[in-house]
Structure 1
Amino acid sequence: MSRRVRWILGGGLALLVLGLIGGPLIYAAMEEDAPPARTVEAQPEGVALTPETDGTWTVAAGSSAGYRVDEVLNGADVTVAGTTDQVTGQVVVEGGDLSSAEVTVDIASVTTDSSRRDGYFRDNVMDVGTYPTATFVVTGPVDLPELTGTPVTVPVTGELTVKGTAREVQAELSVVRTPEGVDVSGSVPLVFADHGVEAPNLGFVRVEDRGAVEFLLRLAR
């Protein structure tokens, strides 16, 4: 074997070893815990709040949704969150009660701090070409407490559809009136296997088998 061939083969092997060992280490070096989820905020005292809550509300600009999961990366526990502002939906309040609500999230646009993770999530985990969206639908009327500028907790029963599979879930929403409308935040528990989603296990990184879908909705008329 010539010296040139040995050099090419040796260089290729070295690059392969660096990719297998150095890649996960570089990935780990970039990794930090995700910031806390966005939630509703109490309004300042004396501010003029939206005068009426009955009616039909739509998800407006400033809303966001996504997922939050825990993973083990090279033996270290890390929390990962992906978000998108591509959220649509409608909420109906009648007689002071939540009559219906449906929220749709564009899964294909959800991003984290890692483009490699996002590509794997979209193509290998969620198959967004076939299942581009996820939905959360409140399945029955919900009694609402009086809504003020102070957030209140509202338990709801809903149907979460991920990757084409719907499951009943329980969630707690935080709701507050604002000068512009109504803000709602919450976290819906998600067990991956319930929706035919296989939690990634790539050796150097292993994702837990459950997580949450979280959202902050700015509702406007």
Structure 2
Amino acid sequence: MKKSVSILFLLFVLMVGSACAPNAAEVSTPTLESSSPTPLPTMPATPEPTVELTEPQVTETAVSETGNGEQNQTVIYKIVPGESRVTYEVGETFINQNNRFAVAVGVTTEVRGEVYANLSNPPESSIGVIEVDISQFKSDSSRRDGVIRNQWLESARYPIARFEPLRVEGLPQAYSEATPYAFRVIGNLTVKDVTREVAFDITAQLSGDTLTGTATTTLLMSDFGVGPISILGVLNTEDEVKLTFDFVARP
């Protein structure tokens, strides 16, 4: 009896084991998924540093050929406002002060223009148009300045006097550093709406890169319809006026 129970128990264990054993077909060996390595984050490209190039200061020049095929180099000198000035001088008699005589002086530094200097062949040099803001003339009397600006010169309406050179006479044949040279420039001067031919006597010299000089002329105010000035019972001016142009110019 015990033997038969043992056999039955063994059979039971075998049956249960068979039922619980996994089917070989169903058992699968776990596979490792071969995944590609995670790509590293792409770093933004560092832009190459840009370098701003500053153009070197170059002297402005104009080059022309001579009849012999040689090149003449002309340096363009620009008149510097503020460092240059135009001055007028005119005699005036104060009637209300026992006919006291004085010289009225007015100055403006608002002047522009160019000089074309040919250092290898000075006679080929020339001067460009010169413009002066005469509305900025200042003297020792604001009352005088106001009358000139609004009534006589009418520079509030015609602020720019313009000198257009026609020819240059007496330029030297050769140039030497820091040597003063005297010459003459003839051109058309326009004040208000009147144009007259005027000649300036000039002395100029070049030292380093700075051209300096003085130009002078005398003219009649009546030629331009601006004088002589007369304020009844106060003063009378002379008709002749002296103009002086002290200039500084650089390339």
Same fold (TM over 0.5): yes
2:89 matches 1:68: yes
- The alpha-carbon deviation at position 163 of structure 1 amounts to 1.5
- The alpha-carbon deviation at position 183 of structure 1 amounts to 0.6
Please, which of 92, 102, 107 is the counterpart of residue 83 of structure 1?
107
SS of the residue corresponding to residue 219 of structure 2 reads strand
Please, which of 75, 78, 88 is the counterpart of residue 58 of structure 1?
78
Q: After the TM superposition, which of the residue ranges 72-81 and 144-153 deviates more from structure 2?
A: 144-153
CA spacing shift, 1:193–1:147, aligned 2, 3 Å: farther
Please, which of 141, 155, 159 is the counterpart of residue 128 of structure 1?
155
C-alpha distance in 2 between matches for 1:80 and 1:147:
38
Show the counterpart of 1:191: 220
- For structure 1, the residue ranges without an aligned partner over 5 or more in a row are 1-51
C-alpha distance in 2 between matches for 1:169 and 1:108:
21
Render the CA deviation track for 1:130-154: whole Å, top value 9, x for unaligned. 2111122221244522354232221
Runs of 4+ in 1 over 6 A off after TM superposition: none
2:237 matches 1:211: no
Q: Which of the two has higher C-alpha Rg? A: 2
Number of residue pairs aligned between Structure 1 and Structure 2 = 171
C-alpha distance in 2 between matches for 1:186 and 1:201:
28
SS of the residue corresponding to residue 108 of structure 1 reads helix
| Contact 2:129–2:162, Cα closer than 8 Å, also in 1 | yes
Structure of higher RCO (CA pairs closer than 8 Å, 6+ residues apart): 1
C-alpha distance in 2 between matches for 1:220 and 1:180:
6
C-alpha distance in 1 between matches for 2:116 and 2:208:
18
Q: TM-score, normalization: structure 1?
A: 0.71
- The alpha-carbon deviation at position 89 of structure 1 amounts to 0.8
SS of the residue corresponding to residue 129 of structure 2 reads strand
CA spacing shift, 1:89–1:214, aligned 2, 3 Å: same
2:203 matches 1:182: no
- For structure 2, the residue ranges without an aligned partner over 5 or more in a row are 1-60, 62-72
SS of the residue corresponding to residue 139 of structure 1 reads strand
C-alpha distance in 2 between matches for 1:125 and 1:62:
27
C-alpha distance in 2 between matches for 1:141 and 1:170:
10
Q: TM-score, normalization: structure 2?
A: 0.63
| Contact 1:103–1:135, Cα closer than 8 Å, also in 2 | yes
CA RMSD between the two structures: 2.1
Render the CA deviation track for 1:64-87: whole Å, top value 9, x for unaligned. 113111111231221111001111
Show the counterpart of 1:32: none
C-alpha distance in 1 between matches for 2:178 and 2:149:
38
